[in-house]
Amino acid sequence: MNYLTDTDAEKLFSEAKAASENTYSPYSHFPVGAAVLTGDGTIVRGTNVENASYGLTICAERTALGHAVSIGKTDIRAIAVYCRTNAAAPCGACRQFILEFGNDIVVIFMHGEELVQRTIEELMPFAFTKTILAQASEVVDQDHNL
């Protein structure tokens, strides 16, 4: 397993908690923070940003990952998610978004009183991935060459 040490997981989770202080959640009043750990040790924060048109709201996880990509960091090692209710596993959309950057990314979140670490692959068995998309493209290319 690629899990972080307890100390490193707690540090990343603390970064996610700090990020939640900057949330923009005037509608749900559900502040969420996320912190991404990149392969070179950089930590990038993000928070949820809500919108009056609810469908345009963006979760903390996607904000943090988008920020990491925008500064050239796509080697993602782990992501921690914090909310005050101690029940902030990433939503389905965020799980799919995290998976885009690798199957072995460690996801850290509270489940009750326990700080949990799971790989994104453990949270998304049988996921739709870029590998599946590439295989589908190969099949289409083969069909066109017949």
Active site residues: 61
Coil, strand or helix: which one is 84?
A: coil
The Cβ of residue 137 has, within 10 Å, a number of other Cβ atoms equal to 10
Counting DSSP H helices and E strands in the chain, the numbers are: 5, 5
